[in-house]
Every structure is written in C-alpha cells, then in structure tokens.
Amino acid sequence: MNIAAPRILILRTGHTDPTIRARHGDDDEWFTAAMEDLGCRFTLRHVPLDGMGSLAGFDGVLVTGTAAAVRDRAGWMRPLTAFLGERTEGGPPVLAVCFGAQLAADALGGTVERNPRGWEIGTVEVKLTADGLEDPIFHGLPERLSVQATHEDHVAELPADVIRLAGNSTAAVQAFAWGRRLRALQFHPEVDAATISSLVRLRRAVLEADARRQGALDAVTARAAVSAILTGIRASGHGRAILANWVNFFVRRTQA
C-alpha cells in the first residue's frame, strides 16, 4: 500500500513545561517538525481533554510522552490503555513514545515502575537486539543508536508475547514490538538536541537531587554530574530516521 499523503493522528497525552513550549513548541509540534519532509497530514487530539475520539480515516497513530505516570491511573488513561492493549492486527499502526510506550507495556501485561537507576536524560546510546536489527523500524540504522531521552520511570518487565528491540544499561527496554501494529520507544525520536538541552536545564535541581540519591557525595559532585549530561548532548539523525521508517514501512507499508 502506497499512501501518498498519510493522515497521522497525534494523541497528545500532556503538555510540556510552559517555558519549554514558548521556546521549542509543545510535544506534538516536535513530531510535526521532525516529520515535516515525510509528506504526512497531521491531526491533533489532546487526550486528557478531548478523549481519543474516532480512529476512522487515519493511516497511523502517534502517542506522545507526558509528565504523567502510568501509576497515576488517571481516568483519561483508561480508553487509551484499552486501545494500546488490543491484541489485534486490525486498525492503524501505532508508534508510542516514552509515557506512551510505558502505557502500552502496562496495557499488554508488563510492569512499569520508577527506575531505581534514576533519571535517564540527555543524549544516550541504545543498543539494538538481534530482533531490533531485523525490524523495519530500525531499517538502515547501526546496532548502536544515539538518541535523546528524558524519563524517570521505565518498563521493568515485558509480557511474553512482546518482542524487545533495544535497550541499554539504564533501561533494558528502550524499544519493543507487538505484531505489525505496535512499535514503542522509551526514548524520544522527535526531540532535537536544543530541546533536550533546555529540558535538562529546566530540571537541573531535580537532576542534582537525583544524582545525590544515586551516590554523588556532595552538591559539587551532583552539579558536575548534571553539567556532564549537558556537555554530552549532541545532535543525531537517528531519531528522524526511525520516524521515517515508521511512516514508510508501517504507515505506507512499503517493503524494507
């Protein structure tokens, strides 16, 4: 199936911080900017206020991240959880990111919890599994990817029928798959280096406190740990390549 201008529904699960929004846009705008050359038409629904609505007529669905946590069990999460947990190949393909990935794991029977290793934020390296190397979502990409991340929770356990596609030492589940319908990413393929830098600076106090909990001996060491995160941030085209693969091989259903 070759869809000339696929219709993509963005299910936004929250807003980013107002100061970040003023400078870099909101979560949905990160996706539309990263995918601007892919020929897609986008429709936005803010799930906490608008609900999910009908999926009729859409060729693909994106589920964004949010500051909310799966363990909050907010009422607006219930229909989205039911949708993500559907074990059927019917309906449009889904790409779930960060909180979206965690909610999908929870919906399918996995376990999501606060990561005992603390925050993962900044530019991070993830390694593809053998299954990941064969999956179209990572077509043409190397075994080790450089991507932007920001999350405090993680998928601690996947259900047996879900395939792990990538991981690293901080979060063993960085990407997973269920059938052809669902792909989920713990990291943020839509976020650029400038935005993640602003997010680190915004959360500096939180991250310094987290560094102390993770073993930094004093405030100076904690500040240095956060400065090292900022120094390590770099641009990478891997995230945009993943988004392009999703559109080409899942939405348009071309052959890898």
Tens of pLDDT, residues 166-213: 999 999 999 999 999 999 999 999 999 999 999 999 999 999 999 999
Q: What percent of the chain has pLDDT over 70?
A: 99
Burial, 72: exposed, middle or buried (Cβ in 10 Å; 0-12, 13-18, 19+)? exposed
Q: Which residues contact 212 (CB under 8 A, 6 or more apart)?
A: 219, 222
Question: Whole-number mean pLDDT of the chain?
Answer: 96
* pLDDT in the model for residue 56: 94
* CATH number given to 7-251: 3.40.50.880
The catalytic position among 46, 154, 188, 238 is: 188
Residue 188 appears among annotated catalytic residues: yes
Residue that has been written with the tokens 């909310």 in this structure: 68
Can you give the residue ranges of every domain in the chain?
Answer: 7-251
> Which of 98, 151, 154, 208 is the catalytic position?
98
Decide if 26 contacts 15 (C-beta within 8 A).
Answer: yes
Average pLDDT for residues 147-169, to the nearest whole number? 96
Q: What is the mean pLDDT of the segment spanning 60-87? A: 95
Q: Which of 40, 46, 190, 238 is catalytic?
A: 190
Confidence of residue 1 (pLDDT cuts 50, 70, 90): low
Whether 86 is catalytic: no
Task: Tell the residue number behind the tokens 């979560």, with chain if given.
Answer: 27
24 flagged as catalytic: no
Burial 4-27 (b: 16+ CB within 10 A, else e): eebebbbbbbbbbeeebeeebebb
CA 100/CA 90 separation, integer angstroms: 19
